[in-house]
Amino acid sequence: MTAAADAARAAMLARIQGALGRSAPSEEQRRRVLQRCVAPSANLIPARGRENDRIAQFIAEAERVNATTGRLAGWSAVPAAVAETLSAAGLPPRLRMVDDARLASLAWPADLAVATGKAVDGDRASLAVAFAGIAETGTVMLLSSPSSPATLNFLPEMHIVILPEQAIVGAYEDAWANLRTALGAGVMPRVVNWITGPSRTADIEQTLLLGAHGPRLLHILLLAEA
């Protein structure tokens, strides 16, 4: 950091501390305040985050925001469902998907061209696997990683997401708790995407249009057995 940048930082912090009526915090003060970050706790969770039938709730909420859903028995049913989804949408049989052993081991139809890697211009459909589904708003939660590049969620016009039913939680807070369990406290993937329906805009005369810059279609495949 340059001297000027250092000075700006110090001046901003000093002004904040002046406004708060105290000097720079002691280590003890700091530790006490940051306890909130060390042991995060949920605020009020609305009742709709605590429904009994989370699967039905997830499907209803996702469809309210123009996502489409399908229910499959398990992984082996994925290739046929994907092929059918592409053909129903009038898309060519080409798919860019996450690099996932559970997908790689499936029997993909010969006439469906499947590739992994990040999305590139011209990719029209992608397939990703959700870390969680959040029932309160029909939201899918995806984590970026070398095998699951974030561009897959945004560049193609159709985004197909696999969501194991056991990964559906009630509220946002449950999803955060599961993420901490999976990766460790305070560890975040580079990008966490919460996606609630397909891309949209209403910037021209409040006319709602789907497919602004991101996918025009969001299709969620729920897996009973994962």
Partner 1 sequence: MQSKAHTFTANARAALADEPLQAALARFQGGFPVKRRAAIDRLPEFDALRDAGKAIKDATLANLDIYLEQFEAKVIAAGGHVHWCEDADAARQTVIDLCREAGAKTITKAKSMIGEEIAINEALAAAGFTPIETDLGEYIIQLRDEAPSHIIVPAVHLSKEQVAESFRAHHRDLPAERPLSEPRAMLDEARAILRQAFLTADVGITGANMLIAETGSTVLVTNEGNADLTQTLPRMQIVIASIEKVVPTLEDAATVLRLLARSATGQELSVYTTFTTGPKRGDDLDGPAAFHVILLDNGRSRMLGGPFAEMLRCIRCGACLNHCPVYSAVGGHAYGWVYPGPMGSVLTPNLIGLAGTSDLPNASTLCGRCEEVCPMRIPLPRMLRQLRRDAFASGGGPKPMRAGLAAWAFVAGRPWLYRLATGVGVRILGLLGRRHGRFRRLPGASGWTAVRDLPAPAGRTFQALWTERNGARR
CB of 122 to partner 1, least distance (A): 10
Residue among 72 and 168 whose Cβ is closer to partner 1: 168
Assigned token pair, 160: 């197909």
Residue among 26 and 87 whose Cβ is closer to partner 1: 26
Segment contacting partner 1 (CB under 8 A): 74-82, 84-92, 123-131, 193-201?
193-201
* Gap between the Cα atoms of 220 and 26, Å rounded: 50
End-to-end Cα distance, the chain: 49
Residue among 12 and 56 whose Cβ is closer to partner 1: 12
CB 169 within 8 A of CB 54: yes
Report which of 162, 153, 151 is spatially closest to residue 119, judged by C-alpha positions.
151
CB of 129 to partner 1, least distance (A): 16
Transcribe 1-56 into DSSP letters: --HHHHHHHHHHHHHHHHHHT--SPPHHHHHHHHHHHHS-------GGGG-S-HHH
Segment contacting partner 1 (CB under 8 A): 79-87, 105-113, 161-169, 186-194?
186-194
* Gap between the Cα atoms of 217 and 64, Å rounded: 14
Site for partner 1 in 35-64 (CB under 8 A): 36-37, 40-44, 46-48, 61
Q: Does 183 bind partner 1 (CB under 8 A)?
A: no
Residue among 47 and 107 whose Cβ is closer to partner 1: 47
Q: Does 215 bind partner 1 (CB under 8 A)?
A: yes
- Given 127, 128, 140, 149, the residue binding partner 1 (CB under 8 A): 149
* Gap between the Cα atoms of 122 and 120, Å rounded: 6
Site for partner 1 in 73-112 (CB under 8 A): none
Q: Does 194 bind partner 1 (CB under 8 A)?
A: yes
Report which of 31, 28, 73, 85 is spatially closest to residue 220, judged by C-alpha positions.
85
CB of 163 to partner 1, least distance (A): 17
